[in-house]
Amino acid sequence: MQLANRVSQITPSLTLAIAAKAKSMQASGMDVCSFSAGEPDFDTPDHIKAAAKQALDRGKTKYGPVNGLPELKSAIADKLAKDNQLNYDPEQIIVTNGGKHSLYNLMMALLNPGDEAIIPVPYWLSYPEMVKLAEGTPVFVTTSEANGYKITPAQLEAAITPKTRLFVLNSPSNPTGMVYTPDEIKALATVILRHENLLVVSDEIYEKIIYDGAEHLSIGAVSPEIFDRTIISSGFAKAYSMTGWRLGYLAGARELIKAASTIQGHSTSNVCTFAQYGAVAALTQSQDCVEQMRQAFAKRRDVMYALIKAIPGLTCPKPDGAFYLYPSIGSLGLGSIDFCQRLLDEAQVAVIPGIAFGTDANIRLSYATDLDTIERGCDRIHTFVRNLR
């Protein structure tokens, strides 16, 4: 069948494909240790589920405003003011079908054909595809393990051209787990402000999952000038373990949000109405659940990091956010796809090839799973790597 040209420009999500293969192996009775998931393994906290159930019982089953329930938009505005020192009016916020959809709306609302978007490598795999779907041009900037996989101000400056419209910043990062320090964020803001036409989208979906006293500074809070150039993308999936609810949001300049809302109005309309009541409960009720999950992730990170670091041939900076490790397999002489396929087939461990995130010399391990699986899976990786060498 003849399909639209845009389809040939993009690649299917490798992370979803590997997670699906691991799940089907598990379903057929195999003992697979899966480190492929990009989602917390916890159930959504009860009070959030209760709020959505009550909304269903109260008949909140109809269409709602395209850009979100007023009570949810004001809860998001309050959260951004309190947690991030960002003062948005509710009209500067749109509720979307997940953080992925916020970013997609943004690209569609902002980019013209040929506009460049700077994406540090390794990147979350959907950024380049979304830029291409919007007919923009992804411009990749390769970061180094020595610099914690973070883009430097000099690298950002060097990548900017008269066509650059957007810089995509993701901290804490998927896939590396790295968190930019406040000083690093300020230095990037200085570069951005030197270029009149340049905006930054800050994907802060992992902001609540940080360790060892790492500080999350939202770039928009650095100064009023950078606030005007910043778009915030976030969601409920990771902090509240609500991946299947499909709830995210975008905050930015009124004109841009209005444009995103027009696009959403002709594509998905409002996010599931009763689910939005769950999100209101998530933001306005106790945050203890977020802290409990964060502490569980912190423990798992320590265990997995120690086990991976002990494997000769793998190197890995210690991440201070999200729930991923991104070790280098560069010394082992296998590409990341071969490594992952063989690891799954020969040792029944599912991890994601770094090529999906732009670097073929790495693999991504998610520790959003129980400690027993972490210990058994890392042990298998150790044996597998030993036998390769």
Ligand X SMILES: Cc1ncc(COP(=O)(O)O)c(C=O)c1O
Binding stretches for ligand X (CB under 6 A): 38, 98-100, 124, 170, 174, 203, 205, 235, 237, 243, 248
Residue sitting closest to ligand X (CB):
98
State which residue, 92 or 96, has the beta carbon closest to ligand X.
96
Let me know: does 90 contact 77? Beta carbons within 8 Å: yes
Measure CA 322 to chain center. 9
Shortest spacing between CB 119 and ligand X, in angstroms: 12
Let me know: does 106 contact 160? Beta carbons within 8 Å: no
Shortest spacing between CB 161 and ligand X, in angstroms: 25
Phi/psi of residue 180, nearest 5 degrees: -70, 135
Shortest spacing between CB 124 and ligand X, in angstroms: 4
State which residue, 238 or 382, has the beta carbon closest to ligand X.
238
Shortest spacing between CB 217 and ligand X, in angstroms: 17
State which residue, 45 or 99, has the beta carbon closest to ligand X.
99
State which residue, 37 or 296, has the beta carbon closest to ligand X.
37
What is the C-alpha separation between 239 and 243, in angstroms, rounded? 10
Shortest spacing between CB 342 and ligand X, in angstroms: 25
Q: What length does the chain have?
A: 389
Residue 57 burial class via C-beta count within 10 angstroms: exposed 0-12, middle 13-18, buried 19 and up: exposed
Whether residue 122 is preceded by a cis peptide bond, meaning omega within 30 degrees of 0, is yes
| Helix 273-284 × helix 70-84 angle, to 10° | 30
State which residue, 44 or 348, has the beta carbon closest to ligand X.
44
Any idea which residue has 């086990």 for tokens? 307
